[in-house]
Amino acid sequence: MSGAPVELEAGPRGLREKYPRFPWTVMLKIDVARRGVRPTAAFLERVQSPDYDGTGASQLLFQWHQEEFKQDYRVPYCFFFRDGTFAPIRLSPPERRPYTLDADGDRLFLADADGHLADIRIPPRAKYYGAETSAGRPMNLIGYTKTFDSVLFVPNRYCHYFSKQEQCLYCDIVPNLQLQRKRDRQVATRAQAREVYDVVRWILEHEPRRWRHICITGGSDPRGAVPYDDEADHYVEICSAVQRAFAEVTGGAVTRWPGWLLCSPFERRHMERLRDTGVMNWGGNIEIMDREVFARTCPGKAHHLGFDRYRELIVAAVEVFGRGRVNTGFVAGGEVSPVGFTDWEHGLDSTLAGIEWFAARGVPSWSVQWSIEPGSRFHAMGAVQPPLEYYVRLYWGQYEIMRRYGLQMDLFCYRDQSQSSIDLYRLL
Amino acid sequence: MTMDEDLQRLINAKGAIAALATTGEDGAPHVVYKAVRALDADTLAVPEVVETSESGKNMLRAVWEDRRVAVNVLEPATGKSVQLKGAVTEYVFFGPVFEEMFERLDPVTKTGVAGVWLVHVDDVRDNSLGVRIAAEVERHLRVYWERTPHFAPYTR
């Protein structure tokens, strides 16, 4: 599934015949993430029901939308196709040719200019959303669920790279935090370990065996005697709180828990401390697979660790957590940004080579599909994403590499991700 | 309508045993026992406890690659056996079908249910031994009569 030049304007309908082995819903998902969506009035009216989760992902992490979300209505974070494939709801301006989210009575569906594409489903609101932490904050500001078995914690909403103007160029985490505050939307900038404990304890006690994944991530914090000491200490505290909740609810039977901690790569002593908190899966994001493009795209990461050290620490974590339980993420498409490769073929080759470099060392990779959010520097540069076919070839190539190396992302939940390579991993 | 009310009752009976047959990437068959349920005249619900299981991957492959799956349901007390074939149309992990399956199975398995595959049944075949023997006898005798009509009076 490679070799042919990338087509500039081909949409899913046009590429379906060219890539018959590529799942149709995954192809739709990629393009939905790329071009974004516009909801109709009928769709919006339907999803304002309190039965749906209207918190919106932008209240927890990045804005995700490709235009500033100033509306007062609720927009769910995602929808699902009938095969369980997740798709993000990223509002986009008309010039990006967004897809349409529409409703016909109770039936919700995705459409393009040529009409109906697929029926979709919106997940219901989680039960714990009505509860409060011991600090009196709504639990949904501490733990967010995009699906029905996975809860996401973002204990630190602030990324310290922004303090010195060293933020990654695709990132809007701090501008989004400011936007949410300005819009008077409830956000928790920093969650206390006790509150994370409260949420985990609630879901384990009230809905046993329904929750299978816990993901913890947030902004980077390079402060400390040794860079990133402060961030490591914070995550040890958070993960220990989760471990305590599991241990207490199960009478000590469970001390290792199905969690995925995604943060900066630390020195080995911190990694061992984290492993001892029982979290079973750790990930550190290289973001861009090429050394020079990485340095231009992620100045904070390049300054504090550098490309080689970043990769070295990720690979070293395999000895601590085990093969398949350490992974790295990248921004799919970010390699062909205004500071990246000008030739898409070179971008593809470089990224696939980087994926293979990690795979050969026992590290599976995953990717978040690049979203050009208004608060990011790439947005200010007028960046545009590569075409759909670029992603089809990238994700299929990534899947083939994982197959070749016998790798899988252990304990990872495909249901709550806007990345399409992981959907193909469902077959691994 | 492919599954009449009697058949739905048989599938949903407490003692019924159901085996799900899927195919892997290389076409090799894979068979596992599942607590399937008939939802209506055309739809079977197949629970998935572990999504990364071989059958889970094969069910997904069936959706993505238009492959068919089969379920054989056995009523042990009578030996009645019915084979159902169809297409996997949906995987649900929230909503009433999922909730019903979770509430029904979790107390038994203590593992919860990750999701539920929906299969649109379009082919039903009674595989009970007596029925199959009768069918085969009928088929072969008819051939025999057709080819050797002068013996027909003796075989009736």
Q: What is the pLDDT of residues A366-425, one digit of tens each?
A: 998 998 999 999 999 999 999 999 999 999 999 999 999 999 887 777 777 666 778 999
Mean pLDDT for B150-155 is 58
Residue B122: which of B7, B43, B29, B4 has the closest Cα? Answer: B43
- Which is more confident, A123 or A295? A295
Q: Can you give the pLDDT at residue A130?
A: 84
- Indicate which of A119, A210, A420, A422 best probes the interface with B, i.e. most B CBs within 10 Å of its own CB: A210
Quick one: pLDDT band at residue A184, thresholds 50, 70, 90?
Answer: low
Question: How far is the alpha carbon of B95 from chain A, nearest alpha carbon, in Å?
Answer: 8
Q: Is the pLDDT of residue A329 over 60?
A: yes
pLDDT surpasses 60 at B156: no
Q: Between residues 379 and 408 of chain A, which touch chain B (CB distance below 8 Å)?
A: 408
- On whether any CB of chain B is under 8 Å from the CB of A426, the answer is yes
Predicted confidence (pLDDT) at residue A340 exceeds the cutoff of 70: yes
What pLDDT does B77 receive? 95
pLDDT at A73: 76
Average predicted confidence (pLDDT) for chain A: 91
Tell which residue, A266, A211, A275, has the closest CA to residue A243. Answer: A275
3-state SS class at A286: coil
Q: Closest to B91 (Cβ–Cβ): which among A83, A124, A147?
A: A83
The pLDDT value recorded for residue A32 is: 95
- How close A250 comes to chain B (CA, Å)? 13
The reported pLDDT for the residue numbered B132 is: 87
Q: Do A426 and B60 touch (CB under 8 A)?
A: yes
Decide: A30 and A395 in contact? Cβ < 8 Å. yes
The answer to whether the CB of A29 falls within 8 A of the CB of A17 is no
Rounded distance between C-alpha atoms, residue A29 and residue A391, angstroms: 11
Q: Is there a contact between B95 and A121 if contact means CB atoms under 8 Å apart?
A: yes
Q: A135 at the B interface (CB within 8 A)?
A: no
pLDDT score, position A6:
67
Q: B90 and A426: CB-CB below 8 Å?
A: no
Contact B29, B103 (CB under 8 A): no
pLDDT grade for A55, boundaries at 50, 70 and 90:
low
Give mean pLDDT, residues A163-174: 96
Q: How far is residue A216 from each of residues A61, A197, A229, A279, measured CA to CA in Å?
A: 11, 13, 17, 10
Q: Is A309 on the interface with B (CB under 8 A)?
A: no
Q: State pLDDT tens for residues A249-282.
A: 999 998 899 999 999 999 999 999 999 999 999 9
pLDDT band at B127 (very low <50, low <70, confident <90, very high): very high
Report the distance separating Cα A266 and Cα A36, nearest Å. Answer: 35
HSE (side-chain half, CA atoms, 13 Å) at A355: 28
Reading the block at residue B25, the tokens are: 């990437």
B139: left (phi over 0), alpha (psi -120 to 50) or beta: alpha
Indicate if the pLDDT at residue A51 is higher than 90: no
Query: Which residues in B4-23 are b (16+ Cβ under 10 Å) and which e?
Result: eeebbebbeeeebebbbbbb
The residue assigned the tokens 């197959």 is A403
- Phi, psi of B77, rounded to the nearest 5 degrees: -65, -35
Please check the confidence at residue B108 and state whether its pLDDT lies above 90: no
pLDDT tens-digit map of B24-68: 999 999 999 999 999 999 999 999 998 899 999 999 999 999 999
CA distance B128 to B12: 17
Task: Nearest by CB to A427, from B60, B98, B111: name it.
Answer: B60
Lookup: tokens for B101: 């399956």
In which region does residue A237 sit, left (phi positive, over 0), alpha (psi from -120 to 50) or beta (all else)? Answer: alpha
Could you say which DSSP state residue A139 is in?
Answer: G
CA distances from A422 to A23, A48, A202, B109 (A): 12, 30, 29, 28
Share of residues in chain A with pLDDT > 70 (%): 94
Long-range Cβ contacts of A402-407 (<8 Å, 24+ apart) = A402/A359, A402/A364, A402/A428, A403/A428, A404/A359, A405/A359, A405/A360, A407/A323, A407/A324, A407/A359, A407/A362, A407/A363, A407/A364
CA distance A270 to A278: 13
Residue A323 has a pLDDT of 92
Query: Per-residue pLDDT for A331 more than 70?
Result: yes
- How close, in Å, is residue B137 to chain A by CA atoms? 43
List chain B residues with CB under 8 Å of A209.
106, 110-112
Tokens 């691994």 -> residue: A428
Q: Which of B60, B94, B106 sits opposite A83 (nearest CB)?
A: B60
Q: Which residues of B touch A (CB under 8 A)?
A: 25, 51-52, 57, 60-61, 63-65, 89-95, 98, 102, 106, 110-112, 114-115
Q: pLDDT tens for residues A63-90?
A: 778 877 776 778 888 899 999 999 989 8
Q: Residue A392: its pLDDT value, please?
A: 96
B69-104 pLDDT, tens per residue?
A: 999 999 999 999 999 999 999 999 999 999 999 999
CA-CA distance, A338 to A185, in Å (whole number)?
Answer: 32
Task: Residue A428: name the closest of A394, A392, A391, A401 by CA.
Answer: A401
Mapped onto helix, strand or coil, the DSSP state of residue A320 is helix
Res. A59 pLDDT band, cuts 50 70 90: low
CB hemisphere CA count around A341 (13 angstroms): 19
Q: What angle do CA B97, B102, B103 make, to 5 degrees?
A: 100
Of the pLDDT bands very low, low, confident and very high (cuts 50, 70, 90), residue A180 is confident
